[in-house]
Structure 1
Amino acid sequence: MKATSIIGFFIVIMSLLLILIILIQSPKKESINQIFMEKNFRFFGIKRTNTFLENVTWFLSIVIFFLTLFFNFFVRSKH
């Protein structure tokens, strides 16, 4: 029971981080959001920031996938 609670907690946290990262990413076409992003991330460079956010998105997606598999494994082993 304890392992499933911990894994479930991490799934929720990683999902919330993934939602946040997706909302932060600037869209492909120019809009108000992109203008806002340019002001905040000017010192990093927009291209580098978008690449970083895309890599973080893929990483979080993969982590959530494997955490879900482990969660399913622990729930089935308890029955």
Structure 2
Amino acid sequence: MGTIFTLFMVLIMIASILLIIMVMAQNPKGGGLSGTFGGTSSAQFGVQRTNDFMEKATWTLGVIIVVMILLSVILTAKPTKSFQNAPARKEAPAPQTAPGANSVTMPIPTPAPADK
């Protein structure tokens, strides 16, 4: 059980680091890594493909991280007892009422121990 959890944690960390690298390589104005390879215009040959690859890789890594987190929770969760198999709860005993008391519940005083 512990090795599965450790494996998922390592894979999630690797995917997270790759996602950080992908996001940092993109430029919000459209340049980014593609701007390094021949200008900032996305109409040049190969540059549009780079932008598409970076965007698809970013989305794919995000989805992979979410799926791995959900799988790690599902696969490493401890099974719980169902309500049908759970032992019946004992109810607290009803409080004792004093004789002659109508609907008011009054505790019966306990006698003090006698001194010798």
Q: Identify whether the pair has TM-score above 0.5, normalized to the shorter chain.
A: yes
When the two chains are superposed, the root-mean-square deviation of aligned CA atoms in Å is 2.5
TM-score (norm 2): 0.55
What whole-Å deviation, never above 9, does each CA across 1:29-67 have from its counterpart, x for those lacking one? 6xxxx377423x239632211111000001101100100
Identity rate, percent: 30
Structure 1 alignment gaps of length 5 or more? none
State the match for 2:25 in structure 1: 24
Question: What is the total number of aligned residue pairs between the two structures?
Answer: 74
Q: Is the 1:18–1:60 contact (alpha carbons within 8 Å) kept by the matching residues of 2?
A: yes
Structure 2 alignment gaps of length 5 or more? 39-43, 81-116
Secondary structure of 1:77 counterpart: coil
State the match for 2:47 in structure 1: 46
Q: Is the 1:22–1:57 contact (alpha carbons within 8 Å) kept by the matching residues of 2?
A: yes
- Indicate the structure whose relative CO is greater, using CA pairs within 8 Å and at least 6 residues apart: 1
Greater radius of gyration (CA) = 2
TM-score (norm 1): 0.77
